Amino acid sequence: MKIREIATGLQFPEGPIAMEDGSVLLVEIASGMLTRVSSNGKVHRLVTLGGGPNGAALAPNGDVIVCNNGGLRFTTLDDGTLKPGHESADYSGGRVERVDLHTGNVERLFDKVDGERLKGPNDLVFDKHGGFYFTDLGKARQHDLDWGGVFYVPEVGAKPQIVAYPVMTANGVALSPDGATLYYAETEGARLWAFDIEQPGRLKRDPWPSMHGGRLLTAAPGGQYQRFDSMAVDVYGNLYIGTLLHGGITIISPDGRICRHLPLPDRYPTNLCFGGPDMRTLYVTLSGSGRLIAIDDCPVPGLRLN
């Protein structure tokens, strides 16, 4: 495995989007920025979003849709690792935003679902119909923790709806290559959940034992002391999940069998995406050390996102 470092000095980067020109769009949670990293590693900070921009995806018209968690408290460990923690003192509320890349205009699309305030929107994925699923991780404080959820928006600008609730620390979200299965990664238990999609925004639910009706594919692979973050999918439907504390990527097949673990030099490899002309370059945000890296010549190409 050959790791190529593209950029450093980022403030807890997340939500990478591989662009056709070879650049990568990403968010910086700790500084509240939407940023473009050129293929030569030059960092262009485009828009100040504030709060805690956490996940990003391209809408059908080219706008960037951002899940903003409202702000996290960060501490720096002895080895220089930037560690995310509880709700920040200046927490500004969870929301989903739209950014026009041409003008830099930022629009708040919504901050509530069915009258309930979003706590910590985290990640999103578009389906082939132009709608998107997104997760709310919830929010942690010193003595309590909010429930999270999984939601669906039929099209950008439409009203969001609940598809799975309550959910514990819902983080990464992805779709199978055929668009028939929705996955989400649970951070605290390092668990991967799946739902069959009956129609856009409507999931088949198993009555027991989960509270939200999902089926459990795997839990804490490789032992404890790990947490799942965001993920990408290859053309065969394997899921590549940023795995915290273990420091790497866990690759899980669609049937829940663990394939392998790719170690990386960071405690917080939070998010990843495939890109390049042949979709064989894997871009990864090493958030604890503030780096964007690439893993070239992946043996299996990634799935092109809707």
253-272 tens-digit pLDDT: 999 988 889 999 999 999 99
The closest alpha carbon to 198, from 216, 218, 213, 219, belongs to 213
pLDDT in tens, 222-247: 776 789 999 999 999 999 999 999 89
- Total domain count for the chain? 1
**% residues pLDDT > 90 (the chain):** 92
Measured CA to CA, the distance from residue 109 to residue 33 in angstroms comes to 18
- pLDDT band for 51, please (50, 70, 90 cuts): very high
The closest alpha carbon to 124, from 184, 43, 35, belongs to 184
Instruction: Specify whether the CB–CB gap between 270 and 260 falls below 8 A.
Output: no
Evaluate the omega torsion of the peptide bond into residue 209 and state whether it is cis, within 30 degrees of 0: yes
Burial class (CB in 10 A: 0-12, 13-18, 19+), 182: buried
Q: Which residues contact 135 (CB under 8 A, 6 or more apart)?
A: 67, 121, 122, 123, 124, 148, 149, 150, 151, 167, 170, 171, 172, 173, 184
The CA distances from residue 183 to 100, 180, 230, in Å, are 28, 10, 11
Residue 256, in any domain of the structure? no
Residue 67, in any domain of the structure? yes
- pLDDT band for 207, please (50, 70, 90 cuts): confident
Here the tokens at position 43 are: 């960092």
| pLDDT > 90? residue 211 | no
pLDDT recorded at residue 116: 96
- pLDDT band for 2, please (50, 70, 90 cuts): confident
| pLDDT > 80? residue 1 | no
pLDDT in tens, 58-81: 999 999 999 999 999 999 999 999
Residue 109: domain span: 15-231
Comparison of pLDDT for 207 and 23, the residue scoring more: 23
Residue 57, in any domain of the structure? yes
Q: Is 80 left (phi over 0), alpha (psi -120 to 50) or beta?
A: left
Supply the CATH number for residue 162's domain: 2.120.10.30
Residue 9, in any domain of the structure? no
Residue 46, in any domain of the structure? yes
- Half-sphere exposure (Cβ direction) of 234: Cα atoms closer than 13 Å: 18
| pLDDT > 80? residue 185 | yes
Instruction: Specify whether the CB–CB gap between 275 and 302 falls below 8 A.
Output: yes
pLDDT in tens, 116-132: 999 999 999 999 999 99
Residue 243, in any domain of the structure? no
Instruction: Specify whether the CB–CB gap between 157 and 109 falls below 8 A.
Output: yes
pLDDT recorded at residue 224: 67
Instruction: Specify whether the CB–CB gap between 268 and 287 falls below 8 A.
Output: yes
Residue 275, in any domain of the structure? no
Residue 263, in any domain of the structure? no
Cα dihedral 27→117→176→262 (10° resolution): 50
pLDDT recorded at residue 62: 97
Q: In the predicted model, what is the mean pLDDT of the chain?
A: 96
The closest alpha carbon to 254, from 167, 177, 198, 186, belongs to 177
Supply the pTM of this predicted model: 0.97
pLDDT recorded at residue 301: 98
Measured CA to CA, the distance from residue 15 to residue 135 in angstroms comes to 13
Query: Minimum mean pLDDT among 19-33, 168-182, 214-228: which range?
Result: 214-228
Measured CA to CA, the distance from residue 193 to residue 144 in angstroms comes to 24
The closest alpha carbon to 27, from 72, 61, 67, 86, belongs to 67
